[in-house]
Amino acid sequence: MVVIGAGLGGLIAARDLADAGHEVTVLEARDRVGGRIYTTTFPGTSTEVDLGAEWGSPDHHLALGAELGRYGLSFEEVDETESGVWRLDGQIRNTGGADARVCLSERERAELDGALDVLAADARALGFEGADDSPAADRLDITFTEYVESLNLSRIGNELLYSTAFSFAGGDPDEYGAWMLVREIAGYDSEPEVLFGDDYRISGGSSSLPRAIAAELGDRIRLGVQVSSVRDDDEAVSVSTSDGEELRAAAVIVAVPINVLGELEFANSEISSRIKALGGSHAGAASKVWARSPNLPPEVFGMAWPELPEIYCHPTDPDLVAAFGMPQVFGEPSTQSMQQLFRGLIPDVEVEAIFEHDWSNDPLARGTWLAGRPGQRHHTAALREWQGRVLFAGADLDTGWAGWMDGAITSGGRAAGKAGLAMGGSRG
């Protein structure tokens, strides 16, 4: 059995297959495991930061919680924000916490509450598991910009919705589908207040989980191996690597981001057609830049649409702050450019150094977490539901928490179960 990709979904699939007694080999092109989960040290410090996936919810991401428990890991709640700073309609407003709603006037709060009521109603109509086939999905299969415009909000209402939604969707609202964001809210019990905070990280950094699974798999994982093609026949599947090696297996699980699937050659024409039908990449393209600053407000959190949809402090290092934004705004980040952006919220802040990973230009990712475009949901389902000796897994393809670490876990587990059935009595 071969698993292509040692992201969280691929590792779970391989681990479950190994636990079931199957021989399994994991091929990973990177020199590390984890894929879009990447915890590493901020240069010049001893502090580890998450350059990729970071957030989870113990009350809703139950598969993630179970895996953390299995390996003696845990969620940690983020300390209460002391300094909230918001730029709304060009004016800076300050609060003592991370909920911007406390700085709104009575009229502004009433307008926002009305919009949240609409989001809640749409989330209940759409549902969560199986939302792709919900009758409400077609109505919501528009861009998030179109959805927000239908609410007829003031500039302040628009800025708050776009900023808070960016924390979940991680893409340009002109490009990602409203159904994607509404489904996320449905997963949080159809309570859109989650947009204003449900803050838990993995203690020790997100990479602690894939590293723990990799340690269990041991030498079944081969790093630095780039797969070029997958060819299946009636008896087995051949996997070819870029250095000319060929592996034969009873079944293969492809667990790479859907944005790079088009770079693999599949002999099966139906699989190739389903990948082509995706229409290219999904819309997930967030820049995440960590910055070191000696004069940050304590426990800072803030938003300024569209320049800085979200900033938040590091849980243990008061001099480090993360900034989320759109690549077309951040460009190629530098210390000077990030300082200029930060000063739009915190006028006197000084930025001494920055650190990021450019996921959008990473050839093994081509983007960040899943933000499905209008029209894409049926095509991702077509890959997820493919039956045969070649199967697909990963956070991008989950039926529920797509784009989240929890979704990678459940997708990998489902793929392992399907592969076991496809392999029948074979162990290889």
pLDDT for 99: 84
Q: How far apart are CA 258 and CA 393, in angstroms?
A: 9
Q: What's the half-sphere exposure (Cβ side, CA atoms, 13 Å) at 23? A: 8
The pLDDT > 90 percentage for the chain reads 88
Q: Does residue 295 lie within any of the structural domains? A: yes
Residue 116: pLDDT above 90?
yes
Residue 47, judged by CB atoms within 10 A of its CB (0-12, 13-18, 19+), counts as middle
- The answer on 235 and 123 residing in a single domain is no
Q: Does residue 124 lie within any of the structural domains? A: yes
CATH number at residue 192: 1.10.405.10
Residue 385: pLDDT above 80?
yes
- The answer on 405 and 274 residing in a single domain is yes
| Cβ neighbours of residue 277 closer than 8 Å, sequence gap 6 or more | 379, 382
Categorize the per-residue pLDDT at 83 as very low, low, confident or very high, splitting at 50, 70 and 90.
Answer: confident
pLDDT for 67: 98
- The answer on 173 and 154 residing in a single domain is yes
**Which of the listed residues 312, 328, 356 is the one where a domain comes to its end?**
356
- The answer on 227 and 157 residing in a single domain is no
pLDDT for 398: 95
> Burial letters for 117-150: b for 16+ Cβ neighbours within 10 Å, e otherwise?
eebbebbebbbbeebbebebbeebbbbbbebbee
Mean pLDDT of the chain: 94
pLDDT for 198: 65
**What six digits make up the tokens of 179?**
């159904």
Cα–Cα distances in angstroms (integers) from residue 387 to residues 1, 247, 384, 392, in the given order? 16, 21, 9, 9
Q: How far apart are CA 170 and CA 186, in angstroms?
A: 18
pLDDT for 112: 97
Q: Which strand (E) or helix (H) includes residue 422?
A: helix 405-423
Categorize the per-residue pLDDT at 426 as very low, low, confident or very high, splitting at 50, 70 and 90.
Answer: low
Q: Does residue 238 lie within any of the structural domains? A: yes
Which residue's entry shows tokens 């950094």? 205
Judged by DSSP in three states, 63 sits in helix
Q: Tell me: the pLDDT tens digits for 154-211? A: 999 999 999 999 999 999 999 999 999 999 999 999 999 999 876 899 999 999 999 9
Q: Is 192:119 a contact under the CB 8 Å cutoff?
A: yes
Q: Does residue 69 lie within any of the structural domains? A: yes
Residue 334: pLDDT above 80?
yes
Strand partners, 94: 85
CATH number at residue 345: 3.90.660.10
Domain span holding position 144: 104-196
- The answer on 225 and 165 residing in a single domain is no
- The answer on 187 and 61 residing in a single domain is no
Strand partners, 177: 143
Categorize the per-residue pLDDT at 368 as very low, low, confident or very high, splitting at 50, 70 and 90.
Answer: very high
* Bond prior to 347 in cis (omega within 30° of 0): no
Residue 358, judged by CB atoms within 10 A of its CB (0-12, 13-18, 19+), counts as middle
Strand partners, 392: 254
- The answer on 264 and 404 residing in a single domain is yes
**Which of the listed residues 196, 229, 257 is the one where a domain comes to its end?**
196
Q: How far apart are CA 202 and CA 49, in angstroms?
A: 11
Q: How far apart are CA 403 and CA 363, in angstroms?
A: 18
Q: What's the half-sphere exposure (Cβ side, CA atoms, 13 Å) at 239? A: 22
User: What's the total number of domains in the chain?
Assistant: 3
Q: How far apart are CA 279 and CA 284, in angstroms?
A: 14
Residue 428: pLDDT above 60?
no
- The answer on 117 and 146 residing in a single domain is yes
- Quick one: average pLDDT of 324-344? 97
- The answer on 113 and 8 residing in a single domain is no
pLDDT for 170: 96
Judged by DSSP in three states, 201 sits in strand
Q: What is the distance, to the nearest Å, from the Cα of residue 407 to the centroid of all Cα atoms in its chain? A: 9
Q: What is the pTM of this model?
A: 0.96
- The answer on 398 and 275 residing in a single domain is yes
Q: Which strand (E) or helix (H) includes residue 83?
A: strand 83-88
Q: Does residue 137 lie within any of the structural domains? A: yes
| Cβ neighbours of residue 133 closer than 8 Å, sequence gap 6 or more | none
CATH number at residue 25: 3.50.50.60
- The answer on 290 and 240 residing in a single domain is no
**What six digits make up the tokens of 263?**
């770079």
E strand map for 258-410: 265-266, 287-292, 300-304, 308-313, 320-325, 353-356, 390-392
Q: Is 332:364 a contact under the CB 8 Å cutoff?
A: no
Q: Tell me: the pLDDT tens digits for 251-285? A: 999 999 999 999 999 999 999 999 999 988 999 99
Residue 79: pLDDT above 90?
no
Q: Does residue 228 lie within any of the structural domains? A: yes
Q: Is 275:58 a contact under the CB 8 Å cutoff?
A: no
Q: Does residue 92 lie within any of the structural domains? A: no
**Which of the listed residues 196, 214, 245 is the one where a domain comes to its end?**
196
- The answer on 190 and 123 residing in a single domain is yes
Residue 149: pLDDT above 80?
yes
Q: Does residue 304 lie within any of the structural domains? A: yes
Q: How many CB atoms lie within 10 A of CB 348?
A: 7
